[in-house]
């Protein structure tokens, strides 16, 4: 009798383990299915140029998502060596708008570009749009155009972003940086925000976020920066930062700079 009960217990344990394994496999399959249900890949073409050249760079990739109705693409680039002239779409591109709406913001050597269009179509390993730009005289032998965010139907999406690089075959021009904070983008923002800033002399830098009442909402660790242009990237955790206006404060060894942004979800 005891031996028979032991056999039943062992059998039940095996059955329980099988059920656990099956549940885990089903959970993993569900995760993989959700990840691969929609595919997004954005890649900017690379090129070689000299100051004064005009380039047309293709933005290619895959946008394979359900119920695709509108798109917003966000890029950052080296504004000291690149000037964005226009963005074009086509009937055979993912962005079908011939002249999509663009918002181009620059601060010192830092640039951000937002491209919006409501006439779109899915595309697999094809062209998304074309960037037309002018190469400027400036500091550095390289400039990057970096896709960093995409919104489909006004909703942030996860994607594979691949930067394009322009290599300059000319003599760079040394320029002086004006230390300070630039304009946040996008503003208002929902999921994440990018704020350009520049440093002229090596310094410690620390960022703080305050609400309109002057209360400290969040502070960030001190970082060391050398001369150059940078971006402050901020993506609040789920459930944090209610809708409203906030101040961003940047403190260096010598000065304090402020900017402001609005969160709307």
Q: What is the pLDDT of residue 237?
A: 77
Decide if 208 contacts 224 (C-beta within 8 A).
Answer: no
CATH of 39-168 given 2.60.40.680, 1.10.3720.10, 3.40.50.1100, 3.30.450.30: 2.60.40.680
Tokens of 58: 């293709």
Instruction: Share the mean pLDDT of the chain.
Output: 84
Q: What share of the chain in percent tops pLDDT 70?
A: 84
Predicted confidence band of residue 18 (pLDDT cuts 50, 70, 90): very low
| Structure-model confidence comparison of residues 82 and 265, the more confident one | 82
pLDDT for the residue numbered 32? 38
Q: pLDDT exceeding 90 applies to what percent of the chain? A: 53
Q: What's the chain's Rg over C-alpha atoms?
A: 24
Q: What pLDDT band is residue 190 in, cutting at 50, 70 and 90?
A: confident
Tokens of 57: 């760079």
- The verdict on domain 180-263 having CATH code 2.60.40.1930 is yes
Tell me the average pLDDT across 233-248. Answer: 85
Q: What is the Cα–Cα distance from 50 to 33, expressed in whole angstroms?
A: 46
Report the DSSP beta bridge partners of residue 145: 77, 164
**Does 84 have pLDDT greater than 90?**
yes
Q: Identify the pLDDT of residue 258.
A: 93
pLDDT tens-digit map of 22-56 = 444 444 443 433 333 479 999 999 999 998 999 99
What's the confidence (pLDDT) of residue 178?
A: 78
**How is the chain split into domains, by residue range?**
1-37, 39-168, 180-263
């Amino acid at each position: 009798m005891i031996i028979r009960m032991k056999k039943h217990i062992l059998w039940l344990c095996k059955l329980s383990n099988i059920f656990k394994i099956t549940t885990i496999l089903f959970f993993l399959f569900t995760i993989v299915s959700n990840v691969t249900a929609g595919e997004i890949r954005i890649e900017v073409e690379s090129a070689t140029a000299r100051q004064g050249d005009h380039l047309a760079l293709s933005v290619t990739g895959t946008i394979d998502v359900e119920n695709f109705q509108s798109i917003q693409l966000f890029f950052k680039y080296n504004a000291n060596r690149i000037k964005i002239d226009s963005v074009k779409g086509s009937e055979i591109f993912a962005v079908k708008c011939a002249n999509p709406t663009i918002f181009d913001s620059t601060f010192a050597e830092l640039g951000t570009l937002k491209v919006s269009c409501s006439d779109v179509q899915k595309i697999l390993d094809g062209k998304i749009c074309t960037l037309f730009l002018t190469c400027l005289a400036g500091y550095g032998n390289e400039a990057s155009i970096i896709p960093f965010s995409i919104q489909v139907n006004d909703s942030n999406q996860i994607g594979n972003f691949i930067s394009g690089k322009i290599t300059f075959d000319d003599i760079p021009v040394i320029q002086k940086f004006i230390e300070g904070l630039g304009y946040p983008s996008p503003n208002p923002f929902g999921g994440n925000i990018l704020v350009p800033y520049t440093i002229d002399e090596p310094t410690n830098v620390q960022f703080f976020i305050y609400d309109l009442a002057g209360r400290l909402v969040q502070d960030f660790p001190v970082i060391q920066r050398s001369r150059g242009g940078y971006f402050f990237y901020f993506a609040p955790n789920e459930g944090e930062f209610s809708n409203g206006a906030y101040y961003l404060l940047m403190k260096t060894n010598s000065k304090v700079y402020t900017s402001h942004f609005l969160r709307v979800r």
